Structure 1
Amino acid sequence: MNLITTPNLDAPDDFYEALIEAHHGLSTEESHAFNARLVLVLANHIGALAVLREAFAAAQRA
């Protein structure tokens, strides 16, 4: 399995709106903690360490 780096969201604007809404009312610290938990949940969903390492490298380049 390879990391998908081309646009792949069904509804990117809806995703962004939901992400912003999920942060609504959170302090900066709570927002950072939410992001950390979200990363772990999504990493668990992906499951493949090789793909996660590709994601790390892609995020470092961005």
Structure 2
Amino acid sequence: MQPILNTAPNLDAPDDFYEALIEAHQGLSTEESHAFNARLVLVLANHIGALPVLRQAFAAAA
């Protein structure tokens, strides 16, 4: 069975997550913010680990 991307709401506290994400960008230049996002994507992709799920995420984000 191929893994499936979970697109259902799955955050315990979505507002808290958003606040933490915004805080993580505080004080960063636009370039630094983009680099942070790129590193974050790579960390989360590594956590997911399954290319089929990542491809589903690419399609969902497009």
CA offsets per residue over residues 4-58 of structure 1, 9 Å max, x none? 1111101100000000000000000000000000000000000000000000000
- Aligned position for 2:19: 17
Distance in 1 (CA, whole Å) between partners of 2:10 and 2:41 is 18
| Matching residue within 17, 33, 36 for 1:34 | 36
Sequence identity, in percent?
A: 91
Structure 2 gap segments, 5+ residues each: none
Selected match of 1:4 from 6, 9, 25:
6
Structure 2 length as normaliser, TM-score? 0.91
Distance 2:46 2:9 in 1: 21
Runs of 4+ in 1 over 3 A off after TM superposition: none
- Let me know the Cα RMSD of the aligned residues: 0.7
> TM (normalized to structure 1)?
0.91
Helix, strand or coil at the partner of 1:20: helix
Alignment: residue pair count: 58
